[in-house]
Amino acid sequence: MLGILFFAIGVMYTPGPVNILSLNSGAQKQFGAHIPFCYGVASALGFWFFLLGYTGSVIVNDTLLPIIAGAGVCFILYLAYKIMSSKVENTGRNETVAVLTYKDGLLMQLLNPKSMLVVLPVTAVQFPAAGIDGVWIAVWSVCLAALGFGAPLAYAACGAYVSRHIRGNTYLKGMNIIMGMMLIAVAVDMGYSHVYLALTSQ
């Protein structure tokens, strides 16, 4: 069972669109306002673990995954635009980052193909191998969702720590542009790997 935790941590805590957004939010001094976003991420992960834990891979199959990924790419590009075009006020705070709400976290993680990288192997292989079934699927879904809450929160905390040592609106605006470009790169890679290749290999 420790293997499940190590695998989930390894996937959840590596850089991805959710964690990049969280890093930027912390850097923009919006750590407290970012917590609902983290709850949204955790709720989406809990939903996927619960759903696929009880249904296996019947619902999310090779036909549906490219559609989910395509919607995720569009949503990530929208958030990248919102971050890059936002204005940093004279107070040194980027009020736009606070718009990342529970709903944003929920939608982004529901449409994030990276979710499937952790959910499908755990629910289809590791749960059965560890004898996890019945009510224990729900218990593990909640525990793994809690790990999902911690990942973006940790990145936001890291961003907040770094921002304490750097001041100025120019820095904050630069961070917006860099993070926006990183999100665009993630979206392009996601679109190629999970949409284009998936569709052309069918």
Residue 12 within any structural domain of the chain: no
Within a domain: residue 95?
A: yes
In a domain, residue 14? The reply is no
Q: Domain span at residue 110?
A: 20-196
Whether 10 is in a domain gets the answer: no
Q: What is the pLDDT along the chain (202 residues), one digit of tens a residue?
A: 778 888 888 888 887 888 888 988 888 877 888 899 999 999 999 999 999 999 875 666 677 778 877 887 887 788 788 778 876 554 444 444 456 899 999 999 998 877 887 888 888 778 887 888 899 999 999 999 999 999 999 999 998 888 777 666 676 677 778 878 887 887 888 788 878 888 888 6
Domains held by the chain: number: 1
Q: What is the DSSP string of 81-116?
A: HHHHTPPPPTTS--GGGGG--HHHHHHHHHT-HHHH
8 in a structural domain: no
Please indicate, yes or no, if residue 76 is contained in any of the structural domains.
Answer: yes
Nearest Cα to 145, choosing from 157, 153, 134, 133? Answer: 153
In a domain, residue 85? The reply is yes
Q: Is residue 146 domain-resident?
A: yes
SS3 at position 58: coil
Distance CA 162, CA 175 (A): 11
